[in-house]
Chain A
């Protein structure tokens, strides 16, 4: 199996010096744990942070040279489509850049590959790649994706491999001209942050504890179905969304 780990030009939050993004280093460790042949990919200028990744379990990194104003997604997608690996791993967000965590999704979209987010463990499965996904409050989900796929890694994944200077020194960085395409602003609308509105299920009634929970937690409610047939699950979901007034096609 061939895995490519996306490396970004991380900056240390305190010193603003080049420093690898920890979750990307954890991604390397996950890929190595799969026994995959691991290579790094970076679009931009060669960066010290990328060199340091070589000391943490990576033998070679390809740097796609693109300009400041170029779109990294286009360069990465072009390079990955030209020589598709089985798995592309990325951190669930960068450090020191835009840190929106959007890049892996855009890349998956550009490649037309499935994406699984926030992996804490990977394992080969019969139908493809089993991904253990970190969910809120410590919950874990097991998903299976069919390669080639993009998987983002969550900070709760096992620790990165230790850094060793000599390995960083031995590692190879290959520079290539990356496909240059100007970055088009993708954000459709920018507005000030405000907390997401919550659906308060128990307005007024219930005990104080229930009202508190309703006001502070993301809406719960509905029925718990264990292993339902897909049709029943879909019906249930639609009914729930309709009840909340979220479904746009209430009549289908």
Chain B
């Protein structure tokens, strides 16, 4: 056998080791719970998911995209070609070896880019450890391959060719050795993850952001140990390439809370291995978290500090940033469901909120009939059962807040001014359940959802309008699972259309530089970034954007029950966001959510005033 044959043999040996490693990974994943997977649809969609969806996210960092295209393309292309070399006629031709050499050269260039990424200094969001060896292995494999193919093309001495095979074999062995716990594992797990993704609705530009209902009849609710995750969730954790994009996007991490989404995913992947077999993690930690005991047992405690769980604002910035389409928020909520429903292990104030919801249908224990009190002096028609209206105004929990009541008063005034027929549910409006659900209490969420749906279905209306993006998300995307399907419109969209139709006419333009802060539940959860901006452009000539805006906006810190969980932090998230607004010279910070209003207005002065879109429109239209 000459060097050509040896090369082909090496490729097949490598393939065999990949298959063995793959089988071992499959065994690991099979320990998870069963999941319904449409294999056929997933397989058909794989090329598109990989080349369009994944690379669409990767390409937000063009250098990373080039690096990945060269490395992955070069490695897969060259190895695939070598496998084809079992056909003797093929490997006898010079053209074939020229092709092989070319693809190895591509991989070689890729390895240089991989190495350069961490030189001269490794950026904090990238991991060290196995990732420092990765370019070395790729380099050896590619360099060996290139030299060998070149030697064959140039018919150099077989000795040279064999030496090259040895080099490539060392590199290949290095790569393959990382298939179970090393960085290269993401390739195998990633492919399976894309096929069997737990949320196929995430791909092809769609955005499936509703939490999935929990089977409340199950013997164990939520996730305590790795095996409680559905198997395809375990695959997802293994698909993480530790690119650190989620870490850069995470507001809790930025605030120094004990949560780093990247480490979280690594922890969850490690939790499915026995304590001794868990790979070392060499990236940024959960800031300030004490090292967990190296133990088996429940994830929270043995692997994660409880703060890590409760720091998450469910802002989805990590999910939106992740090129591997990993579902951090689902994992957090799964763990919270167990903590909440099985253990009752919640932060003190969060437990109090859930108790109030249990007994009064309202997180603060306010009387439901007082929800309309903010509108004292304004007419606020209540829609009785069997009655009908055009717009059902969903007031939300913010209605009980004195400050936010001002925004709602502005909205009600505007609706009246524009001649919109609207009404509220009155005491029949219970909390929408957003907070309960994000805190993991699926029981109370389901109860509230059913009660609200019963109240809504007893009345006729064309659409629900709300100023609360959390209520909007729940009513629009999460109630359908409980039998309530409604057209739900955010007040920004309604006000924008009223302005566009001329039913509201601005009398004056607002002075000063206005910056709009996107609420996570409107932008990332529902893709609505246009209407608020169009609205502002109609009334304020000077609108500027923060660096992080639209789908990549930074959270105000108010979602997911984070304010009631009150996890220790070094900085406050809203302070960080306000600093970003100041950076672009904001003179007014426009918001569109009761949570954002409360969080951002809590930033100490001096700071630009925080005003809801409705208040700004009312100012432009004139108090009249």
The answer to whether A binds B is: yes
Q: Contact residues of A with B, CB < 8 Å? A: 12, 14-15, 17, 19, 52, 55-56, 161-167
Residue contact B355 to A163, C-beta cutoff 8 Å: yes
Measured CB to CB, the nearest residue on chain A to B441 is A165
Contacts of A19 in B (CB 8 A): 358-359
Contacts of B623 in A (CB 8 A): none
Contacts of B354 in A (CB 8 A): 163
CB B568 to nearest CB in A, in angstroms, measures: 20
6 A-B pairs besides A17-B359, A163-B358 with CB distance below 8 A are: A14-B360, A14-B367, A15-B361, A55-B344, A166-B341, A167-B344
Residue contact A161 to B359, C-beta cutoff 8 Å: no
Contacts of B271 in A (CB 8 A): none
Which one, A14, A52, A56, A163, contacts B365 given CB within 8 A?
Answer: A14
Which one, A15, A56, A162, A166, contacts B359 given CB within 8 A?
Answer: A15
Give B202-239 as 1s and 0s: 1 = Cβ < 8 Å from A's Cβ atoms: 00000000000000000011000000000000000000
Residue contact B360 to A15, C-beta cutoff 8 Å: yes
Residue contact B343 to A164, C-beta cutoff 8 Å: yes
Contacts of A55 in B (CB 8 A): 344
Q: Contact residues of B with A, CB < 8 Å? A: 220-221, 340-346, 351, 354-355, 358-361, 365, 367, 441, 443
Residue contact B221 to A166, C-beta cutoff 8 Å: yes
CB A55 to nearest CB in B, in angstroms, measures: 7
Which one, A12, A15, A161, A165, contacts B221 given CB within 8 A?
Answer: A165
Asked if A163 meets B351 with Cβ closer than 8 Å, knowing A12-B360, A19-B359, the reply is yes
Interface SS of B by simple majority: helix
CB B446 to nearest CB in A, in angstroms, measures: 11
Expressed in whole angstroms, the Cα–Cα distance for A40 and B360 within the complex equals 25
Measured CB to CB, the nearest residue on chain B to A162 is B344
Contacts of B355 in A (CB 8 A): 163
Residue contact B344 to A163, C-beta cutoff 8 Å: yes
Residue contact B360 to A17, C-beta cutoff 8 Å: yes
Contacts of B441 in A (CB 8 A): 165
Contacts of B341 in A (CB 8 A): 164-166
Contacts of B367 in A (CB 8 A): 14-15
Contacts of B342 in A (CB 8 A): 164-167
Measured CB to CB, the nearest residue on chain B to A55 is B344
Contacts of A167 in B (CB 8 A): 342, 344
CB A105 to nearest CB in B, in angstroms, measures: 28
Expressed in whole angstroms, the Cα–Cα distance for A17 and B368 within the complex equals 13
Contacts of A52 in B (CB 8 A): 358
Which one, B220, B346, B359, contacts A12 given CB within 8 A?
Answer: B359
Contacts of B351 in A (CB 8 A): 162-163
Contacts of A56 in B (CB 8 A): 344
Asked if A165 meets B443 with Cβ closer than 8 Å, knowing A14-B365, A14-B367, A55-B344, the reply is yes
Contacts of B345 in A (CB 8 A): 162
Contacts of B346 in A (CB 8 A): 162
Expressed in whole angstroms, the Cα–Cα distance for A51 and B221 within the complex equals 19
Interface SS of A by simple majority: loop
CB A33 to nearest CB in B, in angstroms, measures: 17
Q: Name which of A12, A55, A164 has the most chain B CB atoms within 10 A of its CB.
A: A164
Residue contact B344 to A164, C-beta cutoff 8 Å: yes
Q: Name which of A52, A55, A166 has the most chain B CB atoms within 10 A of its CB.
A: A166
Contacts of A14 in B (CB 8 A): 359-360, 365, 367
Contacts of B443 in A (CB 8 A): 165
Measured CB to CB, the nearest residue on chain A to B343 is A164
Contacts of B365 in A (CB 8 A): 14
The 5 closest A-B pairs by CB, nearest first: A162-B344, A164-B344, A12-B359, A19-B359, A166-B342
Contacts of B359 in A (CB 8 A): 12, 14-15, 17, 19
Expressed in whole angstroms, the Cα–Cα distance for A162 and B220 within the complex equals 18
Expressed in whole angstroms, the Cα–Cα distance for A165 and B343 within the complex equals 8
Chain A to chain B contacts (Cβ below 8 Å), 25 pairs: A12-B359, A14-B359, A15-B367, A17-B360, A56-B344, A161-B344, A162-B343, A162-B345, A162-B351, A163-B344, A163-B354, A163-B355, A163-B358, A164-B340, A164-B341, A164-B342, A164-B343, A164-B344, A165-B221, A165-B340, A165-B441, A165-B443, A166-B221, A167-B342, A167-B344
Measured CB to CB, the nearest residue on chain A to B342 is A166
Expressed in whole angstroms, the Cα–Cα distance for A164 and B355 within the complex equals 11
Measured CB to CB, the nearest residue on chain B to A11 is B359
Expressed in whole angstroms, the Cα–Cα distance for A19 and B359 within the complex equals 6
CB A51 to nearest CB in B, in angstroms, measures: 12
Measured CB to CB, the nearest residue on chain A to B339 is A164
Measured CB to CB, the nearest residue on chain B to A15 is B360
CB B610 to nearest CB in A, in angstroms, measures: 31
Expressed in whole angstroms, the Cα–Cα distance for A162 and B358 within the complex equals 13
CB B53 to nearest CB in A, in angstroms, measures: 37
CB B335 to nearest CB in A, in angstroms, measures: 15
Contacts of B360 in A (CB 8 A): 12, 14-15, 17
CB A48 to nearest CB in B, in angstroms, measures: 10
Expressed in whole angstroms, the Cα–Cα distance for A15 and B355 within the complex equals 13
Expressed in whole angstroms, the Cα–Cα distance for A166 and B441 within the complex equals 11
Expressed in whole angstroms, the Cα–Cα distance for A113 and B361 within the complex equals 41
Contacts of A12 in B (CB 8 A): 359-360
Contacts of A162 in B (CB 8 A): 343-346, 351
CB B534 to nearest CB in A, in angstroms, measures: 42
Contacts of A166 in B (CB 8 A): 220-221, 341-342
Measured CB to CB, the nearest residue on chain A to B220 is A166
Expressed in whole angstroms, the Cα–Cα distance for A163 and B345 within the complex equals 9
Expressed in whole angstroms, the Cα–Cα distance for A52 and B443 within the complex equals 13
Measured CB to CB, the nearest residue on chain B to A167 is B344
CB B455 to nearest CB in A, in angstroms, measures: 16
Expressed in whole angstroms, the Cα–Cα distance for A197 and B340 within the complex equals 50
Measured CB to CB, the nearest residue on chain A to B361 is A15
CB B186 to nearest CB in A, in angstroms, measures: 35
Expressed in whole angstroms, the Cα–Cα distance for A126 and B365 within the complex equals 44
Expressed in whole angstroms, the Cα–Cα distance for A56 and B221 within the complex equals 17
Expressed in whole angstroms, the Cα–Cα distance for A78 and B363 within the complex equals 41
CB A59 to nearest CB in B, in angstroms, measures: 14
Contacts of B344 in A (CB 8 A): 55-56, 161-164, 167
Expressed in whole angstroms, the Cα–Cα distance for A164 and B440 within the complex equals 11
